Amino acid sequence: MLILRKDQRKRASSFDPVRATEHQAKFLATHTPSEITAPEWFTAAMDKYTRDTTQQIAQLQENVQTQIKRIERLTILTHNKLCGNGRDTPFEVLPFLDGSIPTESPVAATRKVAIQKAIGYRIG
């Protein structure tokens, strides 16, 4: 049993970062990484949490990318409207809603539209 002198005693609610760091260094020095493992119940709980969180983050990233494309399109539209006749400031290329660029060859664009109509894709 460890007995501390009166001046060494600390309240249970206090936190001493220096002592915590010293304890952590001693612990890590005396234990190999294979000995430091989380309990199975903790691993199972964290796996479920991280899987759910990963799915939520992926959905958020998809939503952000959609919004960025929309903002980019609106910005280009605004820029082009402010260009007047386009002589002083050139127009920007405005991608279609599906993200394709209208400057590609007309054959390729026509082929895309035909394929999209064939599979029932709603255009516009």
The dihedral region occupied by 52, where left means phi > 0, alpha psi between -120 and 50, and beta the remainder, is alpha
Q: What is the pLDDT of residues 51-79, one digit of tens each?
A: 888 999 999 999 999 899 889 999 999 99
- Give the model's confidence band at 11: pLDDT under 50 very low, under 70 low, under 90 confident, else very high: low
**What is the rounded radius of gyration, in angstroms, for the C-alpha atoms of the chain?**
31
Selection from 95, 91, 90, 92 nearest residue 70 by Cα:
95
Overall pTM > 0.75: no
Q: What is the largest CA-CA distance in the chain?
A: 88
Pairwise CA distance, residues 19 & 41, whole Å: 29
